[in-house]
Amino acid sequence: MRFNGGMSSDATSSDDSLDPARQAGSSADGQDRGTLRDVANSLGISSAVALRALRGSDEIKPQMARRVLETAERLRFPLEELSGETEHRGVVAVLVNTMRNTWISDLVRAIRIELAATGRTAVVVPTRRRIPEYPVAADTDAIEDLVHLGVDGFLMISDLADMEHVLESTAGRPFVGIGCSRSFTGRFDTVRIDDEVGQGLLVDHLVGLGHREIAHVGGVGAAVARERAEAFRSAMARHGLEDVARVEPGDFTEQVGQTAGSMLLRGSRVPTAVTCANDVTAVGVLSAARDAGYAVPEELSVAGYGNTSLASSGVSQLTSVDPNSDRLGALAAQFLVERVSGHEGPTRDVAVAPSIVVRRTTSAGPRPETTKRKRISVD
């Protein structure tokens, strides 16, 4: 089951949210601009077919080519950026903290499809320096090497460590953030997940099932994690549950998720439901529930964030927030291409509204209050 969130807007201020240039896919004249995927989806064809049609490929029948062009014009796809050439024009670097999060692969696929429309491609570059004396520092040497190699620009997925040095290392190349903290708005173009909507959808769903004792695992490791935790607290307060809104510190890793889950389940006041900063963390909480003997969802409901392949696997069947990765990646790639092509307008900030995908892990209400767990003592 999938439920869409409310209307998305810029979270920085109420005045900014009324600025049409800061709405999803807006162009300099304030009107929405479609992506290559939007054009393809409108016609029920693949993005690759749409791209070949717009480039005038002989493989595409004239009638289909005409329909694709008309749709592209109607959706205001930036045809002026479309390269009719087939040779390589440039490379975009996608900067990430880790390669372990499968959400990254979802974004990269959308980015590459959109970049293909301008003859560009993307390379994914881990930026976390892997030596003991730099546990959280960014590998600025790698970023400087990319500048020397002549990349067109940079896309950043989520928050990177040591951001000041990261931006300095890019030598003024176009830079766009995806799924990052709203604290970066105004510094460079950003395409974010509307976490207020996302956490609200999870809490609304769980409260609708009867849950009141709801906890969140997250808030550590990045500014976006803290914002997601605050969004959870706000959603709980909206239901009058601020007094029982508990945030157990955790980052975006499975190991820390399992530790945080164990802490929640060993206390005297055990929640009946847990939301998590991402799907990887949620898998850790599921492991903690299994180890503690809690049946999911009969005795504990668990929800993730990101709707990755981990969530949809037959083993976990995890309820999760779908951030609309296709839209996030396509818009960010489009913004970067526009900057590379000379766009000098004000920085843009887009908060994309997510949806919730309900699966087995939250298919039950709270466990009966009479359920008590026997403490085991070792003589």
Residue 22 has what pLDDT?
34
Considering only residues 73 and 3, tell me which one the structure prediction assigns the higher pLDDT.
73
Confidence of residue 85 (pLDDT cuts 50, 70, 90): very low
Paired tokens of 166: 């990261």
For tokens 């900067």, the residue is 95
DSSP 223: H
Bridge partners, residue 351, by sequence: 192
Give every strand in the sheet of 320-322, ordered side by side.
2-4, 355-357, 320-322
Q: Answer with the residue of higher pLDDT: 300 or 79.
A: 300
Report long-range pairs for 170-174 (Cβ below 8 Å, ≥24 apart): 170/143, 171/144, 171/147, 173/147, 174/336, 174/339, 174/340
**Residue partners of 109: CB distance under 8 A and separation at least 6:** 329
Q: Is 263 exposed, middle or buried (0-12, 13-18, 19+ CB in 10 A)?
A: middle
| pLDDT digit string, tens, across residues 277-292 | 999 999 999 999 999 9
Which letter does DSSP use for residue 161 in this model?
S
Query: In the chain, pLDDT over 90 holds for what percent of residues?
Result: 56
Mean pLDDT of 50-76: 86
Q: Of 84-88, 307-311, 365-369, which gets the smallest average pLDDT? A: 84-88
Average pLDDT over residues 52-77: 86
162-171 pLDDT tens trace: 888 899 899 8
Distances (CA, A) of 354 to 98, 124, 156: 23, 24, 20
pLDDT surpassing 50 at residue 116: yes
Peptide linkage before 62 cis (omega within 30 of 0): no
The structure's pTM equals 0.75
The pLDDT tens digits for 166-198 are: 998 998 899 999 999 999 999 999 999 999 999
CA atoms within 13 A on the CB side of 279: 24
Q: Domains in the chain, start-ordered, CATH in brackets?
A: 36-82 (1.10.260), 91-194+324-354 (3.40.50.2300), 195-322 (3.40.50.2300)
